[in-house]
């Protein structure tokens, strides 16, 4: 039995393509693993606060020296970090907004990028060498984009501050096994977008087939 954390980063609801693909991923996952535990964390519509001066002061104060007010300030951040530590598998749906991630998802990453909890310096003090503390975890990143060509060597690769950034941050926190599902061409619609949907669904099929070795039926 595995513990699966689902993080939805889109501000949209039913109109969100990343949410639909994430749910398709989960539906297929649980169909073959009904005993797995799935926990949802709403980020896109969750109104997560951005970090503040008080948050920074609390986060960089040794735990044993934190006041009651500091502990309260870090309460949400601690819960978000606990979810990541709890999970074996992370499935994150993240649309591309202005070549990066939605501000709500950036706020989430800022909340969980916690020195001493999800990462540390190798020597225990600033040394430029980062050590991730999220061990033995896998991540599936579902990326949705309006345009295309953001893959490595694509004509827009130099502007991909979405998936490259997410992979970098989670990699620093110790999540090295990150696989991606990409949906492109929403801006164009029509046959071009339909092809992208089929390609993304096929990628989910491929990942789950490889992951479980038993998935035979096509996604619907």
Q: Which residues pair with 182 in a beta bridge?
A: 143
pLDDT at 209: 87
Say how far apart CA 151 and CA 208 lie, in whole Å.
21
Q: Do the Cβ atoms of 211 and 140 come closer than 8 Å?
A: no
Instruction: Give kind and range of the element (H or E) at residue 91.
Output: strand 89-95
Per-residue pLDDT tens digits of the chain, which is 220 residues long = 899 999 999 999 989 999 999 999 999 999 888 999 999 999 999 889 999 999 999 999 999 999 999 999 999 999 999 999 999 999 999 999 999 999 999 999 999 999 999 999 988 888 889 999 999 999 999 999 999 999 999 999 999 999 999 999 999 999 999 999 999 999 888 999 999 999 999 999 999 988 887 545 544 4
Q: What structural domains does the chain harbor? A: 3-212 (3.40.50.360)
Name 180's bridge partners. Answer: 141
Pairing label, strands 119-121, 130-132: antiparallel
The H or E element containing residue 104 is helix 103-112
Q: Match 């926190």 to its residue by tokens.
A: 173
């Amino acid at each position: 039995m595995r513990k699966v954390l689902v993080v939805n980063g889109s501000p949209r609801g039913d109109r969100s393509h990343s949410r639909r693909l994430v749910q398709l991923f989960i539906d297929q996952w649980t169909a073959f693993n009904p005993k797995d535990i799935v926990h949802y964390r709403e980020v896109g519509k969750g109104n997560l606060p951005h970090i503040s001066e008080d948050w920074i002061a609390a986060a960089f104060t040794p735990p044993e020296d934190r006041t009651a007010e500091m502990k309260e300030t870090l309460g949400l951040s601690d819960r978000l970090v606990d979810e990541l530590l709890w999970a074996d598998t992370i499935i994150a749906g993240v649309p591309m907004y202005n070549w990066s991630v939605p501000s709500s998802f950036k706020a989430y990453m800022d909340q969980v990028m916690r020195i001493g909890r999800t990462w540390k310096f190798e020597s225990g003090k600033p040394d430029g060498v980062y050590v991730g503390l999220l061990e033995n975890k896998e991540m599936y990143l579902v990326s949705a984009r309006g345009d295309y060509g953001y893959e490595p060597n694509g004509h827009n690769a130099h502007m991909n501050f979405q998936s490259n950034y997410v992979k970098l941050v989670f990699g620093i926190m110790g999540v090295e096994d990150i696989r991606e599902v990409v949906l492109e061409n929403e801006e164009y619609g029509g046959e071009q977008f339909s092809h992208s949907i089929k390609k993304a669904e096929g990628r989910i099929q491929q990942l789950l087939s490889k992951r479980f070795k038993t998935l035979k039926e096509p996604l619907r």
